[in-house]
Amino acid sequence: MSDTTIVRTATTSAPIHEVLAERWSPRSFDPSVEIPDEKITAALEAARWSASASNTQPWRFIVARRGTTEHATIVDNLMGFNQVWASSAQVLIVNLAAATTDDGAPLRWAQYDLGQAVANLTVQAHHDGLHVHQMGGIEVDGLRRAFDIGPQLEPTSVTALGVLGTPEALTSDVLREREVAPRSRLALDDLVLLNA
């Protein structure tokens, strides 16, 4: 466990599982460290076994390891600052929602279910000593073209998965400041509207 992780542990009003308390979204990944394929597979398995409405499993993933043309293509289709930091992540995953059935009927909970699957992936990855940073700042049309994604699938987000790097490794002042900025959340009382 690095100092960075300890400092960024969530402050909670009751104890929560340490993986959940210590999970956070870094922008500095150490590209020099290899991730065993087994850990990537475990993260994807965690997503696979997520709950979904009527067990429709409306999640699909495009997985690209650093050094492949596919990884570079995903980086090219990130927005703004995401392009700057995410290239050092060992793995980039395009998260796709299967938003309709084969007959074209809408699957109302597809994005909700995809989000849950990515959350499961995140928890497994952190349990395995990795870090995850999700991105909504993506070029949807560019990803569609690059990976020949049809209308039934919606590129929704990209997950950066990797080994935590140091804040100093980030190349911009803004990113370094964000990396060590205090984490904040709304108070529990603001979220729980009724607790009878």
Ligand X SMILES: Cc1cc2nc3c(=O)[nH]c(=O)nc-3n(C[C@H](O)[C@H](O)[C@H](O)COP(=O)(O)O)c2cc1C
Our finding on whether 24 is near ligand X (CB under 6 A) is yes
Residue 114 class from Cβ within 10 Å (0-12 exposed, 13-18 middle, 19+ buried)?
Answer: buried
Closest approach, Cβ 172 to ligand X, in A, equals 12
Cβ-proximal residues to 27 (8 Å cutoff; 6+ apart), any chain: 85, 86, 133, 170, 175, 178, 179
Site membership for ligand X, residue 120 (CB under 6 A): no
SS3 24: coil
Q: Is 157 in the site for ligand X (CB under 6 A)?
A: yes
Asked if residue 136 binds ligand X (CB under 6 A), the reply is yes
> Looking at residue 33, what DSSP letter applies?
S
3-state secondary structure of 74: helix
In the window 168-187, what residues touch ligand X (CB under 6 A)? 183
Residue number, 101 or 156, with CB nearest to ligand X: 156
* Binding residue for ligand X, selected from 77, 82, 95, 124, defined by CB under 6 A: 82
Counting contacts by CB under 6 A, is residue 77 touching ligand X?
no
Site for ligand X, rule CB under 6 A: 24-25, 82, 134-137, 157, 183
